[in-house]
Amino acid sequence: MPLSASEQSRYHRHLALPELGKDGQERLKAARVLVIGAGGLGSPAALYLAAAGVGTLGLVDCDRVELSNLQRQVLFDTAAVGRLKTEAARERLLALNPEISVVAHTLTLRAENVLEVLRGYDLVLDGTDRLATRYLVNDACVLLGKPLVSAAIHRFEGHAMTYLPGRGPCYRCLFPAAEEGVVGNCAEAGVLGVLPGVLGAIQATEAIKIATGVGEPIVGRLVTYDALELRFVELPVTRRADCAVCGEHPTITAPRDAAELCDTEALAQVRRLTASALSDLLASELDSAGLVLVDVREPQEFNTRHLQGARNIPLADLARRLGELAGERTPVFVCRSGRRSLMACALALRGGMAAPAHLEGGLLAWAADVDPAFEVAAG
């Protein structure tokens, strides 16, 4: 795919690198790279890949830009708040480099569509903020034989690792299983805005190396980055013979959606309280209503501000401490957004408790609908 005169000018600094040169730049032009998640990681990754001249850049996201995104998601400006991320990102990337194609996939990846979306690309960058999607994308990449550059962030820490088909371990080899609530998630715990800049740039670097055949990707090497200590650590990861998807006897032979707690039929038994309904219950005294208020956030979040009468059992400790809730009163779980409290309900149901309740929308809904002065900790 020959370069035009304007492309030769635009990519001059790449062409000046003997390791890349004209051949490498033409490979980039021919490359089709899919970025999953136009968030903290996807923003810098997509910007650098567009600037580098990746010919076809796909973006997967179903969200709209929120004001709280702008602290780290450098693809977007204030005027984009409220717009679909894929549309705003496409405009921004084409303004940066009109020589490339940007494909917007405004959807949620699921078992039924993941192969179709990924099939059109040569390599995949995973910057999603959902564990279920991480596993889904990993499995699809293994099944399709696509390279995957994975990264994740939490507070001041980030991870990156690359999977190359047939050459090294996949994400399931690294972490065979994980559940939301027991691993680090930025929505609740916060994240340093510049952190995904470092990890997203690593992902873009890996993509460029793989597309051009230059350098050595981080295959079988987990790179961890601690921004507070400014420390990179590299740890070896080997392929697991018993890996469910890339092992010797795989049990995952087609994409499947994770059995997400939120989707289980059991959760139909959960009593979902709106903020105003909970407020009414509190006014009538929880005790007399036969309820006990359990805040499942981390201790530092709880200590910032919590509802009167609530006790703190972080979600990660709940399975072990369910016995403390045994008794006649029904637990009402609360958290920041309603996500962890729903998971707490699932744990309580598994533990044999009947009809646990949770605050829908979490304390954010409480602050919005009941008490505007209630300060909800970022984590």
Q: Which listed range, 10-18, 137-145, 177-185, 246-254, lies at the site for other proteins (CB under 8 A)? A: 177-185
Is position 159 an interface residue for other proteins (rule: CB under 8 A)? Answer: yes
Is position 40 an interface residue for other proteins (rule: CB under 8 A)? Answer: yes
Q: Between 131 and 246, whose beta carbon lies closer to other proteins?
A: 131
Is position 305 an interface residue for other proteins (rule: CB under 8 A)? Answer: no
Q: How far is the CB of 255 from other proteins (least distance, A)?
A: 19
Q: Which position among 320, 323, 352, 373 is part of the footprint of other proteins (CB under 8 A)?
A: 320
Catalytic: which of 141, 170, 173, 186? 186
- The closest of 84, 55, 81 to 67, measured between CA atoms, is 81
- Cβ partners under 8 Å of residue 258, min gap 6: 131, 132, 135, 136
Q: Which listed range, 39-47, 62-70, 210-218, 330-338, lies at the site for other proteins (CB under 8 A)? A: 39-47
Q: Which listed range, 50-58, 145-153, 258-266, 339-347, lies at the site for other proteins (CB under 8 A)? A: 145-153
Query: d(Cα 234, Cα 79) in Å, to the nearest integer?
Result: 40
- Cβ partners under 8 Å of residue 300, min gap 6: 377, 379
Q: Which position among 129, 139, 295, 360 is part of the footprint of other proteins (CB under 8 A)?
A: 129
Determine contact, residues 129/191, Cβ cutoff 8 Å. no
- Cβ partners under 8 Å of residue 162, min gap 6: 147, 148, 149, 150, 168, 206, 210, 217, 218, 219
173 catalytic per annotation:
no
Q: Between 41 and 211, whose beta carbon lies closer to other proteins?
A: 41
Show the binding pattern over residues 64-103: x = contacts other proteins (CB under 8 A), - = does not.
----------------------------------------
Query: d(Cα 137, Cα 117) in Å, to the nearest integer?
Result: 10
Q: Between 242 and 375, whose beta carbon lies closer to other proteins?
A: 242
Query: d(Cα 134, Cα 150) in Å, to the nearest integer?
Result: 8
Determine contact, residues 263/256, Cβ cutoff 8 Å. no
Q: Which amino acid is at 242?
A: D
186 catalytic per annotation:
yes
Q: Pairing relation of β-strands 291-295 and 330-334?
A: parallel
- Point out the residues that are catalytic: 186, 335
Which residues lie near other proteins (CB under 8 A)?
37, 39-42, 126-131, 134, 151-159, 174-180, 182-187, 189, 191, 196, 222, 224, 226, 228-229, 233-238, 298-300, 314, 316-317, 320
